[in-house]
Structure 1
Amino acid sequence: MIRLTMTAGLAACVLGLSACNEGKLETGAPVAGGATAVAPLRTSAGADVGRATATEVNGGLRLTVDVKSMPPGTHGAHVHTTGRCDAPGFETAGGHWNPTEMKHGTMNPQGPHFGDVPNLIVDSGGRGTVAATVPGATMAGLLDADGAAFVVHAGPDDLKTDPSGNSGGRIACGVFQPS
């Protein structure tokens, strides 16, 4: 009898939660007609090495990065606050996109900020892909008056050290443009 009561109670809870979500999209669900911005990634020598794409999704932005002809290994990858990519060091891209003033990194108890993206792992053929959803981020915030850039760093991001995860120099950069 107790087991039957617990099972019935659990079923009622599940149905109740389902009813609460009816008609509501989970964060990250595609949005019909959602805006997209693309950042073509280039090295300091101007070589095309891929692209970063930001797409509006329910409750945030979905960032997808696809690279080619990059050095194999693990690389920090971040959205930076300014839409400039002046070679050779791409310092004009500024710091990481951080409108909420959080600390850097998903392993930092005071983070992450909007610019944090998981490490990009590039295979021995120079190809790599990474994707993440940034809850709360908006296309209007990304494409504000000074724009935003996407930067790939030389080394791995430790996912906790402020302000950049000790990910090293900037080896590729692209400015987001609406598409």
Structure 2
Amino acid sequence: MRARTLLLASLAAALLTLTGCGSSGGAASDGDAGASPSEASSPASPPAASSGGGAEGAKVPEALNFTATTVDGKPFDAKTLAGKPTVLWFWAPWCPTCKGQATETAKVATDNASKVNVVGVAGLDKNAAMRDFVSDTGTGAFPHLSDEKGEVWKRFEVTQQSHYVILDKTGKTVYEGVLPGGNGLAEKVAGLTG
């Protein structure tokens, strides 16, 4: 009986961690200064390249060696993102913080379409709700992955929605965290594109 109680308590704690709308800031990285512990061990951090090519024949870093399905049911191969900085925006359809980030994220995606990849990674709900979110927020100009099983979230060690992971053109994580309202996203992207 005690083991069952402990298991339920552990599951409840994990659920609270996954479902809380993020409100804390993230860690930025200038070299190693200010890097969060998860950046140091994140699968997105190592720039080691695997075989294959991305944009313009770029080497594909391990961070981008995955496939998924978009919210509209199309196959997505992250290898195609190689060679450009990439913004991964982890969101949930029911999250008001995520809705607040949508306009700025869409603006950054549009303004930097030729220089930066922006990809939404939807989770913590069903695909129908994810499609509705994209439609309601006007963020359909860039791809959104339907990550119902949380595979991409786990790959980047994301534990809360409304979270950004920004990779440089080599696949190294240069920022991860929450940007309330998307504020600061344009500046972080500009720092990667010169």
Q: Pick the TM interval, shorter chain.
A: under 0.3
Q: TM-score if structure 1 supplies the norm length?
A: 0.27
Q: TM-score if structure 2 supplies the norm length?
A: 0.26
The answer to which structure has the higher helix fraction is 2
The answer to which structure has the higher strand fraction is 1
Greater radius of gyration (CA): 1
